Amino acid sequence: MALKFQYNKTALQNLRRQLAIREKALPTLKSKEAALRLEVRKIMLELANIKEELEALMEKGHKYNAFWSEFPSIVKVDKVNFYIKNIAGVKVPIFEGINYKLESVSLFNMPSWVRAGIDMFKRVMTLEIRMDITERRLEALAYARKKTTQKVNLYEKIQIPEYSSAIIKIKRYMEDEENLSKSSQKIVKERNRKKEAEL
């Protein structure tokens, strides 16, 4: 949508004010975009490491598939601990840990592999929940980065050039008006002088 403006001093002042706001905000937006881009890269790397670790763990536990069907549901996730961190103006969850709840059963009456199964279950659940929280963080930061990039492009490629162009047009128009006014005053003075000379 093209910028609409009037050819007067008030419009010129408003356009200058809007241009100054955008020029002042642009470096901040660019640094925010760079920070978000860097953070997104870090999180993608972290997510790849978690997936790799989870796949390795699942591959290791794959040979115990027959036992998993007999695994009792004695371990439950009690609480997922995370805190909210502000990264470049975006609030995201950061994983801290998990509290597990163990049913009160006698592990001595269970097969010996159950203890190893409990540890394996805890490690798998920790990785899956950590991966889920990291994916949420990635989505939030990627969305914020996309919006910031759009705003940077809007300011840099559209609005700042439009405002600058409009200011130049208004200045030229006002200068032309002033020149025409001066020229017409000179013509009137010249006519008045000729009339006085004739009298």
- pLDDT (tens digit, 0 to 9) for every residue of the chain, 199 residues total? 678 888 889 999 999 999 999 999 999 999 999 999 999 999 999 999 999 999 998 887 776 666 665 666 777 888 999 999 999 889 999 999 999 887 776 666 666 666 777 788 888 889 999 999 999 999 999 999 999 999 999 999 999 999 999 999 999 999 988 888 888 888 888 888 888 887 6
The answer as to whether 160 is a domain residue is yes
The answer as to whether 193 is a domain residue is no
Residue 107 has what pLDDT? 60
Within 13 Å of residue 69, how many CA atoms lie on the same side as its CB? 3
Residue 70 has what pLDDT? 60
Which string of DSSP letters, residue by residue, matches the chain? ------SSHHHHHHHHHHHHHHHHHHHHHHHHHHHHHHHHHHHHHHHHHHHHHHHHHHHHHGGGHHHHTT----EEEEEEEEEEEEETTEEEEEEEEEEEEE-S--TTSS-THHHHHHHHHHHHHHHHHHHHHHHHHHHHHHHHHHHHHHHHHIIIIIIHHHHHHHHHHHHHHHHHHHHHHHHHHHHHHHHHHHHHHH-
Domain count, the chain: 1
Question: pTM for this one?
Answer: 0.76
Residue 141 has what pLDDT? 96
CATH number for 82: 1.10.287.3240
Which string of DSSP letters, residue by residue, matches 49-67? HHHHHHHHHHHHHGGGHHH
Does residue 87 contact residue 161 with C-beta atoms inside 8 Å?
Answer: no
The answer as to whether 197 is a domain residue is no
Show the domain range for 111: 9-186
Phi and psi for 103 in degrees, rounded to 5?
-60, 145
Residue 156 has what pLDDT? 94
Question: Buried b / exposed e across 44-73, counting CB within 10 Å, b at 16+?
Answer: eeebeebeeebeeeeeebeeeeeeeeebee
The answer as to whether 63 is a domain residue is yes
The answer as to whether 135 is a domain residue is yes
The answer as to whether 1 is a domain residue is no
The residue type at 178: E
